[in-house]
Structure 1
């Protein structure tokens, strides 16, 4: 649910001596100064010359140290690093997604991903994907809405949520206020768009079978096309989901939504109704996040 803020401390390919013949090990460009012979007023013994064998040993130790640091920063090792961006048990906060080569989900329920991992990363992934589904235009279609509800909500609350959603999305006054027909479809010649674009997720609380995950996202909503009285606009929200591990997957038991954080808008000119309609039809929304 912008994600290079992290500093990369891995050594570069230039570790060790650089191509500069006057550079010493580590690139400090230090030189050795030979002190004058000691005299009575300055009883300073001359340092013995360092032989080539000592220099070779030092270079070897430094090379091994660099290799060890590079291996550690590569993240291979503990089981906790097996899931991308995962943090330790009981930890909270944001965690950037990192590639692991492991398939993040094992299946899908319709167009909605399912089979999320039983860990913090899996809970965050589920919350981001459920945001996309619950804000999609499929919620305005009775059949599709039922499929979404059954896919994202825990069985214990699914029927209650379904009834609440049907009451909201079948309200003709509500549909009329956003420019849709009584059946939830867009008027002829217009294209309806409702999409959530997750920016990031944050783990608020985690235990073995429950998780509280906040999803920050932008939403596009409105009617695209000539003559639209509800042009497509952008809004920003944070929805916090209460999730429970049920039947081998993460499911929603409750949620609450709040506005923002909202970024400052740039001085970009809004696209024409025709351009927006074309973009909506040509660019499909993502069906899997994180």
Structure 2
């Protein structure tokens, strides 16, 4: 799965995968020489998969909202132009707790909110109790905040942090950089009205520890998040949240970067404010 209130704060949020490994070309670096591809039976992969399952179980405690009434718009062969083209609306200029806020009260605003909220929920800040609570306060409808806090507190335990390779308190071990980022690829509103919407967000995620001899290297995964949103107090807020695997593309033959390059990239490349 968080904080100042400046316009660039959304870049601080980031959010796992499968690998086909071969012997590294450079010894001592779990990143160097490895190619991302199909499945591997390595212990690190098993750990990451376990983490994903636990996160899904923790967050998806509520029913999915809405129905699939909008599915009739599907062409069967390719998406409508409107579903992939930018709306032309400007990104929001305000933030709440470092997360973009002040979205439009229409379908594109709901999709933009869902994309930005997916980034926050998939960020490294979710592994810190105080930062996680701040994220939930900013994006969850007030009546559901307590439920989300309880469920996630039960998931983000010391044992859970150890499984990811973190210290008990959710911090990265000395010499390592923890990576947890979610990058929305596209959004789809299955239902939408002036006061409620159900939005699916197709995402790519990164999770792991970047560092020499890491046993939990950063891996990639693909998943779809479904959010039921409610318009309340002048903005969109999450009522329910669920997640499922895929759609996942065929893995390419890109050579994995070194641990140093991965850590440097995470530190130097900020995130985006997503607008439909």
TM-score, normalised via structure 2 length: 0.68
Paired positions, count? 200
Structure 1 CA distance for aligned equivalents of residues 71 and 254 of structure 2: 43
Following superposition, the deviation at residue 285 of structure 1 comes to 2.5
- 1:137 corresponds in structure 2 to 124
- 1:224 corresponds in structure 2 to 210
Following superposition, the deviation at residue 280 of structure 1 comes to 1.4
- 1:254 corresponds in structure 2 to 240
Residue by residue over 1:215-242, the C-alpha shift from the partner in whole angstroms, topping out at 9 and shown as x without a partner, is 0000010000102110000000001100
Structure 2 CA distance for aligned equivalents of residues 132 and 285 of structure 1: 9
| Partner of residue 241 from structure 1, selected from 212, 223, 227 | 227
1:191 lines up with 2:177 in the alignment: yes
Distance 1:104 1:90, change over 3 A: farther
- 1:162 corresponds in structure 2 to 149
| Partner of residue 186 from structure 2, selected from 188, 200, 204 | 200
RMSD across aligned positions (CA): 2.0
1:212 lines up with 2:198 in the alignment: yes
Distance 1:189 1:90, change over 3 A: closer
Structure 1 CA distance for aligned equivalents of residues 152 and 241 of structure 2: 14
Decide which structure has the larger Cα Rg and report it.
1
In structure 1, the gaps of 5 or more residues are 1-88
In structure 2, the gaps of 5 or more residues are 1-69, 75-81
Following superposition, the deviation at residue 174 of structure 1 comes to 0.8
Residue by residue over 1:65-120, the C-alpha shift from the partner in whole angstroms, topping out at 9 and shown as x without a partner, is xxxxxxxxxxxxxxxxxxxxxxxx999676234364x5432521022011110000
Distance 1:265 1:184, change over 3 A: same
- 2:84 corresponds in structure 1 to 96
1:179 lines up with 2:165 in the alignment: yes
Following superposition, the deviation at residue 151 of structure 1 comes to 0.6
Distance 1:134 1:154, change over 3 A: same
TM-score, normalised via structure 1 length: 0.65
Structure 1 CA distance for aligned equivalents of residues 268 and 197 of structure 2: 36
Structure 2 CA distance for aligned equivalents of residues 92 and 243 of structure 1: 21
